[in-house]
């Protein structure tokens, strides 16, 4: 999906706006007649606020209902809940439209005394910060850091990912700060860089040129602190960098740059700090570092290798190298000693540092093995050379080429590994590339007239800016259209390639592509608040989360290195004693060695061939690639746990409305059982249903508007004593008449008689896969509404494909049995649970789990949330509610049923790679260690020199990462492509 959009996203700079100059109102409102949902309204207004009022004078639910209804009529109100028992009113609103004082006055206009309660009702007890950790080399390192973090008081949960070299820490901000978390990591010996604090405020870093002293930094800091909305300021004189936290509703980056550049007589210049903390920049730096280290090691290692392995066979050069300097010390030995020392102690310093950090905290990692192996070879060689220099007869044999070649090959392996690991996160980079680099900012006068336009860095966009989007350009930020008409390609979010028409009042999403007309949009969500940033964060969090199968590698890592050291020492001791006790023929010993040196080489080979890195990378690299591929396919998988559970799924529970069906029900038939004017009937029904959020209620209200064609937004009669009966319907008093609208269960529960002819109408309706809604007025059944919600195209084929994958499908719905059975029969589902309340859905999921099934739940509504949480894997349709998406493990962004199959198939392919990685990593160690220990030497004479063992160890990590990278070639099951060819792609 991301790649498809990238190909469309080139900005045509030659496009010119020849349209008349627009005029904007100073305070844009939602245009009259434009239907805007609560979620869209949030997008339009940006961040929401909450206020708590004390309301004195309420005596009954009717009082509370009148307060609630009056407040809800105000513009910009998202939600109002009145608690009559505690005399409280909790209001969620958008500050751009309304404020606390207006709400308070409105409550008092109803006749009650209202007071704003000054308390923080939004206070968070948990925050999540992300930290980059430099210096980790294997699973042992990440386990050490994770254990240290979890031991810190106030840390609720800590995850450290080796593949991404990042930590995600959930902590209580009342107990500790993120600076204490950084210190805890640095105390373990690793460098920690804060990426994000997880606080509900924006943060930006600015670089300032022209600053020379700390006093200048303080002057600039004081100027910035005076700006409204600025919360925290930190500065770094060495990097000439400011880090600011601020409230985006009050200020923004352009204001900061303006203040900085106006301070100090214009000698300071400010810009957004280069993304030095970014993952890609860090990766490039690491690649360059390993590359430079490898090249420098080659400068010294190649001469050592030539002197040890090549020049000894060239008579003239051999004679020169064998020339003695002091006693038995030759020129060749001295040169090898001199050349190998920088490799051992300068280029190989990282291994000493890593070993010290690990051992200091009671663990052992790959660095310990490398340091021990290379030190054994190097210091034995030093001993041999020094003894030759002080002896008249000792014939020395050095292993300087072993230590230097070992380090060179390991650095090459690390370079290739980092190069390959970087490719595992390409999905995030592609998502981030969707955001345009520049934007056209329009400047307005006080009356809203356009006076200027300029091109700015898109990162400098602030809330409430007016941005111009030309044809072919990417939308620079989330916002809504204030002028113009066009079509926008939103495939990066919805997966629907057909452009969506946009006009005044419509929502636009940052990163989508404007197709034809010019649009002027008002920015509502910028920076980290944007939809694109939230998707990126979701994918990043998914890549951080460990799969349960990774615990296997974590357990092994605790004793792997100590075991290898024991095996290495045992190998040396066994061969050494066998040589001393004449346990093998002397002919086995190469002419240039003695039994001690042969045993030492076997011991070093065992130490350096063992590879804990391959085991540590087996799971996280596959999870990273798998979640990245999923994101590019429109399937957001929230981490390794979801991936692991999905590949075992053998039973899927489907919700009906909005999942198997389109989710936009319409009234198709009305049958009145009593003589009544249809307009009057629908006024009573709509008045009762207008307060309900249920899709069927919305369909009824929408249909009722047809009888009030003279009014654009009709006002329905007031409904008193409104009550929503979950899973059944609604009850209210309208025009002094008790109105009940709901299913058969509601009517029977109220002891209202259902005539025989009504039963027949219901059966007929349900037989047509329609939902029958019964209407009772003053305890007498007066009408039946037939509501149809058409099936999603391709639903039957998707159920059929799941059956071929040995996955059982079950339909669970709150709808009646007749409609549920008709829908199930149409799509090919055999097991049906109907008339289920939200808790019934969750109970059914638990029953299936108790029977030994691994259950996935697919839903889209608030009523599906308990079942989504209860299931082993919760899959939320992307067009569903925020609560459902939050509760789910997998989000199907395109709202396509096909993606249920993609999610299961991708998880199966990912886990096949993980198993393959473990098979290779374990098999490599199980086979490699005995061969390095000399298991084949007695029978075949084959011996693995330490430098070849080191090269094999380096290659094993690279091969595991490359095996994971093959997942990037993932293709959806061919059966789904067949659906597309037949034109059944779900929209």
CA distance 246 to 200: 10
Of 598, 558, 574, 606, which is closest to residue 925 (Cα–Cα)?
606
Give the orientation angle of helix 595-609 with respect to helix 400-423, to 10 degrees. Answer: 10
- DSSP per residue, 111-158: T-EEEE--S-TT--S-EEEEEEEE---SHHHHHHHHHHHHTSTTEEEE
CA distance 331 to 338: 11
CA distance 630 to 627: 5
Would the CA dihedral through 286, 291, 296, 300 be positive or negative? positive
For the stretch 754-760, contacts whose Cβ atoms lie closer than 8 Å and that sit 24 or more positions apart, written own/partner, are 754/781, 755/673, 755/781, 757/673, 758/673, 758/784
CA distance 12 to 665: 41
Residues 6+ apart with CB under 8 A from 192: 131, 132, 133, 134, 167, 181, 182, 185, 186
- Which pair of structure tokens corresponds to residue 170? 């959930």
Q: Does the annotation count 249 as an active-site position?
A: no
The pair phi, psi for residue 295, each rounded to 5°, is -65, -45
CA distance 434 to 512: 8
The pair phi, psi for residue 908, each rounded to 5°, is -65, -45
- Three-state secondary-structure class, residue 583: coil
Of 671, 667, 674, which is closest to residue 759 (Cα–Cα)?
671
Residue pair 422/283 in contact by the 8 Å Cβ criterion = yes
Q: Which of the following is catalytic: 506, 655, 789, 872?
A: 655
CA distance 964 to 240: 40
Q: How many residues does the chain have?
A: 987
Mode of pairing for the β-strands spanning 855-859 and 873-877: parallel
Residue pair 44/523 in contact by the 8 Å Cβ criterion = no
For the stretch 722-728, contacts whose Cβ atoms lie closer than 8 Å and that sit 24 or more positions apart, written own/partner, are 722/65, 722/688, 722/691, 724/691, 724/692, 726/837, 726/838, 726/863, 727/814, 727/835, 727/836, 727/837, 727/838, 727/840, 727/863
Residues 6+ apart with CB under 8 A from 566: none
Greatest extent of the chain over all pairs of C-alpha atoms, in Å: 126
Of 283, 536, 514, 529, which is closest to residue 431 (Cα–Cα)?
536
CA distance 122 to 29: 27
Residue pair 162/618 in contact by the 8 Å Cβ criterion = no
Of 675, 911, 908, 654, which is closest to residue 792 (Cα–Cα)?
654
Q: Which H or E run contains 776?
A: strand 771-777
* Alpha-helix residue ranges (DSSP H) falling in 471-518: 491-494
Q: Which H or E run contains 227?
A: none
Per-state percent for the chain, helix, strand, coil, to nearest 5 = 50, 20, 30
The residues with which 742 forms a beta bridge, in sequence order, are 729, 774
Of 716, 740, 746, 708, which is closest to residue 728 (Cα–Cα)?
746
Which residues carry out catalysis?
A: 655
């Amino acid at each position: 999906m991301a790649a498809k959009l990238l190909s469309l996203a080139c900005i045509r700079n030659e496009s010119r706006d020849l349209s008349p100059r627009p005029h904007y109102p100073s305070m844009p409102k939602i245009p009259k007649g434009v239907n805007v949902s609560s979620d869209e309204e949030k997008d339009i207004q940006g961040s929401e606020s909450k206020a708590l009022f004390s309301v004195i004078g309420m005596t009954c639910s009717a009082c509370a209902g009148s307060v609630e209804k009056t407040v809800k009529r105000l513009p910009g109100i998202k939600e109002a809940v009145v608690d009559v028992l505690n005399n409280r009113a909790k209001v969620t609103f958008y500050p751009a439209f309304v404020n606390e004082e207006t709400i308070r006055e409105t409550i008092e206009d109803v006749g009650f005394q209202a007071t704003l309660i000054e308390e923080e009702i939004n206070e968070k007890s948990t925050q999540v910060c992300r930290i980059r950790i430099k210096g980790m080399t294997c699973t042992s390192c990440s386990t050490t850091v994770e254990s240290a973090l979890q031991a810190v008081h106030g840390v609720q949960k800590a995850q450290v990912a080796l593949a991404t070299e990042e930590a995600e820490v959930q902590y209580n901000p009342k107990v500790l700060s993120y600076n204490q978390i950084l210190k805890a990591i640095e105390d373990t010996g690793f460098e920690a860089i804060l990426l994000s604090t997880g606080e509900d405020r924006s943060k930006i870093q600015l670089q300032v040129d022209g600053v020379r002293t700390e006093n200048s930094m303080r002057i600039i800091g004081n100027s910035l602190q005076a700006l409204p909305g600025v919360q925290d300021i930190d500065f770094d004189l060495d990097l000439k960098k400011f880090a600011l936290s601020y409230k985006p509703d009050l200020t923004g980056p352009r204001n900061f740059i303006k203040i900085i550049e106006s301070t100090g007589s214009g000698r300071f210049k400010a810009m957004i700090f280069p993304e030095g903390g970014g993952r890609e920049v860090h990766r490039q730096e690491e690649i360059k570092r390993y590359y430079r280290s490898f090249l420098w090691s080659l400068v010294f290692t190649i001469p050592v290798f030539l002197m040890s392995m090549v020049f000894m066979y060239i008579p003239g050069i051999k004679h020169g190298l064998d020339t003695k300097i002091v006693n038995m010390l030759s020129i060749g030995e001295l040169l090898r000693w001199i050349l190998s020392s920088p490799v051992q102690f300068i280029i190989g310093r990282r291994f000493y540092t890593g070993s010290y950090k690990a051992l200091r905290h009671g663990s052992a990692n790959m660095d310990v093995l490398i340091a021990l192996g290379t030190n054994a070879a190097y210091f034995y060689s030093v001993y041999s050379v020094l003894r030759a220099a002080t002896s008249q007869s000792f014939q020395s044999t050095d292993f300087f080429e072993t230590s230097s070649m070992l380090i060179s090959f390991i650095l090459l392996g690390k370079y290739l590994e980092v190069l390959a690991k970087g490719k595992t996160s390409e999905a995030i980079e592609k998502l981030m590339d969707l955001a345009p680099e520049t934007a056209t900012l329009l400047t307005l006068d006080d009356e809203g007239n356009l006076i200027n336009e300029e091109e700015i860095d898109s990162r400098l966009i602030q809330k409430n800016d007016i941005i111009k989007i030309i044809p072919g350009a990417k939308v620079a930020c989330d916002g809504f259209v204030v002028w113009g008409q066009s079509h926008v390609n939103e495939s990066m979010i919805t997966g629907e390639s057909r452009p969506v028409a946009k006009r005044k009042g419509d929502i636009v999403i940052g990163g989508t592509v404007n197709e034809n007309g010019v649009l002027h949009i008002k920015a509502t969500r910028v920076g980290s608040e944007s939809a694109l940033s939230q998707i990126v964060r979701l994918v990043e969090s998914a890549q951080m989360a460990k799969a349960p199968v990774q615990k296997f590698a974590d357990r092994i890592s605790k004793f792997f290195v100590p075991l290898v050291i024991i095996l290495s020492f045992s190998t040396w001791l066994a061969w050494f004693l066998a040589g001393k006790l004449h346990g093998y023929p002397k002919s086995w010993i190469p002419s240039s060695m003695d039994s001690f040196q042969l045993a030492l080489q076997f011991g070093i080979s065992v130490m350096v061939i063992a590879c804990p890195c391959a085991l540590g990378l087996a799971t996280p690299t596959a999870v990273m690639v798998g979640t990245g591929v999923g994101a590019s396919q429109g399937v957001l998988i929230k981490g390794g746990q979801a991936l692991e559970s999905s590949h075992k799924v053998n039973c899927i529970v489907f919700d009906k409305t909005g999942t198997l069906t389109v989710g936009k029900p319409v009234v198709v038939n009305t049958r009145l059982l009593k003589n009544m004017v249809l307009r009057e009937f629908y006024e009573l029904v709509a008045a009762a249903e207008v307060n309900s959020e249920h899709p069927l209620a919305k369909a009824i209200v929408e249909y009722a508007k047809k009888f009030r064609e003279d009014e654009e937004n009709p006002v329905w009669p007031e409904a008193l004593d409104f009550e929503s009966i979950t899973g059944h319907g609604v009850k209210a008093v309208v025009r002094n008449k008790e109105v009940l609208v709901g299913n058969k269960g509601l009517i029977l529960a109220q002891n209202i008689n259902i005539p025989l002819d009504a039963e027949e109408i219901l059966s007929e309706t349900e037989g047509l896969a329609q939902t029958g809604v019964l209407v009772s007025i003053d305890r007498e059944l007066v009408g039946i509404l037939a509501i149809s919600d058409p099936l999603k195209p391709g639903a039957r084929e998707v159920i059929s494909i799941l059956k071929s994958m040995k996955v059982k499908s079950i339909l669970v719905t709150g709808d009646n049995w007749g409609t549920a059975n008709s829908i199930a029969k149409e799509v090919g589902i055999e097991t049906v649970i109907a008339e289920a309340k939200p808790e019934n859905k969750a109970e059914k999921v638990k029953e299936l789990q108790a029977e030994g099934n691994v259950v996935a739940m697919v839903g889209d509504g608030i009523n599906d949330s308990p079942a989504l949480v209860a299931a082993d894997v919760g899959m939320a349709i992307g067009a569903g509610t925020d609560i459902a998406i939050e509760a789910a493990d997998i989000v199907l962004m395109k709202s396509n049923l096909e993606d249920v199959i993609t999610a299961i198939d991708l998880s199966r392919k990912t886990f096949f790679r993980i198993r393959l990685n473990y098979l290779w990593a374990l098999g490599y160690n199980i086979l490699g260690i005995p061969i390095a220990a000399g298991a084949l030497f007695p029978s075949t004479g084959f011996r693995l020199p330490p430098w070849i063992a080191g090269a094999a160890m380096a290659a094993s990590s690279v091969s595991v990462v490359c095996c994971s990278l093959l997942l990037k070639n993932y293709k959806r099951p061919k059966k789904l492509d067949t659906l597309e060819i037949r034109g059944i792609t779900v929209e």
